[in-house]
């Protein structure tokens, strides 16, 4: 039952600041996912919680007690590394029992030579053996207990890494992209297993990933990080439907939220590129804004249908049950450059079934009045969403 509090945590390596003003609180039994692109500082954050990396300034508290200076084991955390970091020279059993043995070590056992003797002795204790076998059973590792990591598959190694974390009784489990080395199928299986584990152990998990699917499926709460700063904190649903800024909007979802530049004049919103008038109610009366809309909220209509905007098909990917349509507001035959990456150029719509369209077709897209986000073009921050919803 531990609450972890971050107050204005900063971290810099030399002149590079990797974490800036990180403040948050993690309550008990949470499954908190730190989500962000690589290099956003999320792993550093996790390592600071574990005590593997020093904190430059600010405080981390466990139940109110400052733990900045504590050694990792004094913090009593469990950590699953991206590379698993198994001990290659130890069997699975030895790997899993290692934290238990260390817990039972007195100071002087650490003397060279004595330490290896004591390690062997403690490993034989029935309570240690029992605990190891218990965890091994949970994770279906029993047949492999006497093998070394080299003789295991990737998924099995992953489970050993989890087992090594689970065998203890830590205050928090820290997982650093634990699934990134697995193939897609195994990954979805392990996602389910980890979620199940979280429910069973009843402790907080802090989970670092750059994979939004993992964040969406497993988290009770998500912290989106970019360039060392918290972009948004919220449940997966909040993050998805109410992104706090264009970064979150563009990072979450596949394809991500469409960000369409709009010109607002006299309370009327026009698509900036074509000047086409829409019936949307913008949150500002005057100026440039970005309209954020999830691809699945757009629906296909005939061109020139009233209330719909006109667009041209740039791509159509049939995914079986649904189709992702890439569209632009101008005839793609006019394009001299294929600028599919340009967010202002191509937007996406996700529609069910396989509509009979092909690249270059002129289509109409209906924009619903609710579930829209408006962002300030300058700051990228969201604009009074509530008023829009009301409208």
Partner 1 sequence: MNLKLHRGLAATATFCLIAGLAACADSGEDNQDTSDGKAAGTLVVANYQFLESGRGEALWNGLLQYESANSDAKLEQSASPYLQYVDKINTELGAGAGPDVFVIQEAQFATLAEAGLLATLNSAVEGSDITDLNSGLKIDGNQLGVIWEQVTYALIANKNVIEDAGITEMPTTVDELIAAALQVQERTDASGFAVRHLMSEFESWWMDYNVWPFGFDGAWSDGEELTIDSPENIAGLEAYKAVYDAGIMPLGDDASTYRTKFKENQLAFMIENNGATLSFTSGGAITGQDIESSPLPFEYPGQHQRIVLAVNANSDNKALALDFIKWFVSPEGQTAIRPGLGASTLATDVPLGADFEAANPWAQTFLDAAATSRSNLIPGFETETKPIMQVIMQAVERSITQGQDPAAALAEAQEQAPAAVG
Partner 2 sequence: MTRVKRLPGIAARALVVGLFVIIAGLPVYWMVNTALSTDAELYRTGQDWWLHLERLVDIPGTLSTVPILKWMTNSAVIAAGTMTLSLILSVLAAYALSRFKFHGKGVVAFMLFATQMLPEALIVVPLFAIFVSLGLLNELYGLVLANTAFTMPVAVFILKAAIDKIPHETEEAARIDGCPRSSQLTMIILPLILPSIAAAAVINFFDGWNEFLFANTFIADAEKWPASVGLVSFIGQYGTPLATVMAAAVLFTIPAVVFFLVVQRQIVSGLTAGAVKG
Partner 3 sequence: MTLSAEVTERVAPKKRRRDLARYLYIAPATLYVLMFAVVPMVRGVWLGFTDTKLTNPSGGRFIGLDNYTSLLGSEAFWNSIRTTILYTLVTVIGTLVLGTSAALALNRAFAGRALLRGLLTFPYAMPTIAAVLVFIWIYNPSSGLFNRVGRVLGIGEAGWLTDPEYGLASVLIATIWKVFPIVMLIVLAALQSVPEELREAARVDGADALSSFRGIVLPHIMPTLRIVALLMTIWSIRRFEIIYLLTGGGPVETTNTVVVSIYRRAFSDLDLSTAAALGVFGLLLSFIVTVAFFIIETRETRKEASS
Q: Of residues 12, 57, 134, 379, which one binds partner 3 by CB under 8 A?
A: 57
CB of 243 vs partner 3, minimal distance in Å: 33
Q: Which residue has the tokens 């107050």?
A: 7
CB of 69 vs partner 3, minimal distance in Å: 5
Which residues, numbered 47-106, are part of the site for partner 1 (CB under 8 A)? 71
**Per-position DSSP letters for 237-296, written without gaps between them:** HHHHHS-SBHHHHHHSTTTT-EEEEEEEETTEEEETTT--B-----SSSSEEEEEEE-GG
Instruction: Report the C-alpha gap between 42 and 162 in whole angstroms.
Output: 20
Strands 373-376 and 362-366: unpaired
CB of 169 vs partner 2, minimal distance in Å: 13
Contacts with partner 3 by CB under 8 A: the residue count is 3
User: Going residue by residue from 142 to 181, which x/- string records binding to partner 2, judged by CB under 8 A?
Assistant: ----xxxxxx------------x---x-------------
Q: Which residue has the tokens 């008990």?
A: 28
Instruction: Report the C-alpha gap between 151 and 186 in whole angstroms.
Output: 18
Instruction: Report the C-alpha gap between 236 and 287 in whole angstroms.
Output: 31
The first and second tokens of residue 331, run together, are 């005839």
Q: Does 112 bind partner 1 (CB under 8 A)?
A: yes
Q: Of residues 10, 27, 53, 68, which one binds partner 3 by CB under 8 A?
A: 68
CB of 140 vs partner 2, minimal distance in Å: 18
Query: Any idea what DSSP says for residue 304?
Result: T
Strands 204-209 and 31-35: parallel
CB nearer to partner 3: pick between 56 and 220: 56
CB of 103 vs partner 1, minimal distance in Å: 14
Site for partner 2, rule CB under 8 A: 50-52, 71-73, 77-79, 81-83, 85-89, 91, 98-99, 102-103, 105, 110, 112-113, 115-116, 119, 146-151, 164, 168
Site for partner 1, rule CB under 8 A: 71, 107, 110-112
Site for partner 3, rule CB under 8 A: 57, 68-69
């Amino acid at each position: 039952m531990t609450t972890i509090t971050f107050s204005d945590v900063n971290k810099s390596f030399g002149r590079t600041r990797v974490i800036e003003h990180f403040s948050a609180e993690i309550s008990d039994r949470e499954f908190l996912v730190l989500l962000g692109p690589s290099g956003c500082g999320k792993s550093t954050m996790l390592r600071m919680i574990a005590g593997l990396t020093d904190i430059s300034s600010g405080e981390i508290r466990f139940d109110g007690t400052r733990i900045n200076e504590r050694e990792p084991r004094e913090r009593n955390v469990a950590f699953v590394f991206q590379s698993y970091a198994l001990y290659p020279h130890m069997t699975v059993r030895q790997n899993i029992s290692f934290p238990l043995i260390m817990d039972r070590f007195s100071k002087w056992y650490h003397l060279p030579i004595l330490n290896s003797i004591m390690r062997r002795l403690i490993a034989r204790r029935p309570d240690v053996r029992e605990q190891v076998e218990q965890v091994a059973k949970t994770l279906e590792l029993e047949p492999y207990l006497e093998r070394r990591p080299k003789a295991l598959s990737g998924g099995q190694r992953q489970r050993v890494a989890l087992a090594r974390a689970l065998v203890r009784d830590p205050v928090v489990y820290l997982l650093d992209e634990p699934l990134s080395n697995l193939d897609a199928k195994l990954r979805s299986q392990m996602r389910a297993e980890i979620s199940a584990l979280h429910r069973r152990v009843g402790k907080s998990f802090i989970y670092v990933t750059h994979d939004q699917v993992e964040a969406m499926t497993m988290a009770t709460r998500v912290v989106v990080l970019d360039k060392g700063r918290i972009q948004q904190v919220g449940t997966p649903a909040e993050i998805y439907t109410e992104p706090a800024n264009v970064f979150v909007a563009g990072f979450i979802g596949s394809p991500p939220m469409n960000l369409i530049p709009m010109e607002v004049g006299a309370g009327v919103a026009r698509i900036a590129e074509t000047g086409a008038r829409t019936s949307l109610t913008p949150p500002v009366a005057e100026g440039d804004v970005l309209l954020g809309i999830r691809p699945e909220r757009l629906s296909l209509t005939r061109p020139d249908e009233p209330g719909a905007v006109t667009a041209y098909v740039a791509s159509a990917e049939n995914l079986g049950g649904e189709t992702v349509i890439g569209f632009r507001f101008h005839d793609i035959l006019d394009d001299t450059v294929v600028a599919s990456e340009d967010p202002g150029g191509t937007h996406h719509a996700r529609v069910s079934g396989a509509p009979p369209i092909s690249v270059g077709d002129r289509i109409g897209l209906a924009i619903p009045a609710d579930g829209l986000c408006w962002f300030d073009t300058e700051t990228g921050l969201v604009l009074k969403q509530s008023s829009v919803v009301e409208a």
